[in-house]
């Protein structure tokens, strides 16, 4: 069982928006503004898409945005494109003992 | 641009020791405020943080693996390494090294990742 809970799959048509949730506890997601999101295409290394809840690294399209409410963080992808089809993982800082935790991953299908 | 590349045996026997190295280019493993992590992903499963080593040589490990893990750095060779002892089939995974951004009280994330290397534990 993953430390953070994500839906196993989401889907959307090109041009639509989708939101992927990441639910933790007050000891991780809810306790710190250090949620990050990673995109992983099959056989490839994960790529940082969002950090510190809602910040975008240079080079990541502004179609990707992040937010948080309570113990749940969300990744929203607007204007879906075929190349967005991938697995998405959330991660959170979890304090000095557990330190870093990940979600189980969500498979995004672009219909 | 920081680049990381994992290397090591792809097959390890049960009860033996797994040893991997991550070569870093475009950055220094010993530069101030740099942290370097190992993360793994069993086939079809989620990512799991294994541990990190800092620019000063301090380490922190996942509590679930703590007794079996060692991470060390070789600054002269610009690389850091992972040692995992007493492996079982459950340790079969793709192992990634990553630069771990830690700004205490401000920021925690992994910004650069290696391509990953599959390690299979089997006799």
Question: Which pLDDT band holds residue A3 (cuts at 50, 70, 90)?
Answer: confident
User: Which of A58, A94, A99 is the best substitution to test chain B (most B C-beta atoms within 10 A)?
Assistant: A99
Helix (H) or strand (E) holding A96: helix A95-98
Q: What is the pLDDT of residue B119?
A: 98
Helix (H) or strand (E) holding B60: strand B59-61
Q: Do A45 and B96 touch (CB under 8 A)?
A: yes
d(CA A15, CA B73): 46
Q: Which residues of B, range 34-53, sit inside 8 Å of A by Cβ? A: 37, 45-49
Residue in chain B lying closest to A38 (CA): B110
Q: What is the pLDDT of residue B6?
A: 96
| Nearest neighbour of A46 by CB, restricted to B60, B108, B113 | B113
Contacts for B76 with CB less than 8 Å, ≥ 6 apart: none
Question: What average pLDDT score do residues A85-97 get?
Answer: 94
- Name the 3-class secondary structure at A5: strand
Q: Do B109 and A47 touch (CB under 8 A)?
A: no
Question: What average pLDDT score do residues B31-53 get?
Answer: 91
Q: What is the pLDDT of residue A63?
A: 97
Q: What is the pLDDT of residue A8?
A: 96
- pLDDT per residue as tens digits for the range A25-46: 999 999 999 999 999 998 888 9
| Angstroms from A75 CA to nearest CA on chain B | 15
Q: What is the pLDDT of residue A31?
A: 95
Among B50, B72, B34, CA closest to B116:
B50
Residue-averaged pLDDT of chain B: 92
Q: What is the pLDDT of residue A68?
A: 97
Residue-averaged pLDDT of chain A: 95
- pLDDT per residue as tens digits for the range B62-119: 999 989 999 999 877 789 999 999 999 999 999 999 999 988 888 899 999 999 999 9
- Any idea which residue has 């995974």 for tokens? B93
Q: What is the pLDDT of residue A43?
A: 86
d(CA B68, CA B86): 7
């Amino acid at each position: 069982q993953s430390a953070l809970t994500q839906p196993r799959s989401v889907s959307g048509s090109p041009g639509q928006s989708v939101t992927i949730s990441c639910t933790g506890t007050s000891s991780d997601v809810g306790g710190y503004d250090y949620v990050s999101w990673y995109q992983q295409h099959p056989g490839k290394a994960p790529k940082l898409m969002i950090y510190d809840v809602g910040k975008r690294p240079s080079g990541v399209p502004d179609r990707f945005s992040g937010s948080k409410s309570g113990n749940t963080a969300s990744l929203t992808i607007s204007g879906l494109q075929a190349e967005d089809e991938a697995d998405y993982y959330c991660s959170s800082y979890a304090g000095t003992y557990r330190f870093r935790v990940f979600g189980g991953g969500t498979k995004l299908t672009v219909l | 641009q920081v680049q990381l590349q994992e290397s090591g045996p792809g097959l390890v026997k049960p009860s033996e020791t797994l040893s991997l190295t991550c070569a870093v280019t475009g950055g220094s493993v010993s530069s101030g405020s740099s942290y370097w992590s190992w993360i793994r992903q069993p086939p079809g499963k989620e990512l799991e943080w294994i541990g990190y080593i800092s620019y000063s040589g301090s380490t922190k490990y996942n509590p679930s693996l703590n007794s079996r893990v060692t991470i060390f750095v070789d600054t002269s060779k610009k690389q850091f390494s992972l040692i995992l002892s007493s492996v079982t089939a459950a340790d079969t995974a793709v192992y990634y090294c990553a630069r771990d951004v830690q700004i205490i009280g401000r920021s925690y994330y992994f910004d650069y990742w290696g391509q990953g290397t599959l390690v299979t534990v089997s006799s």
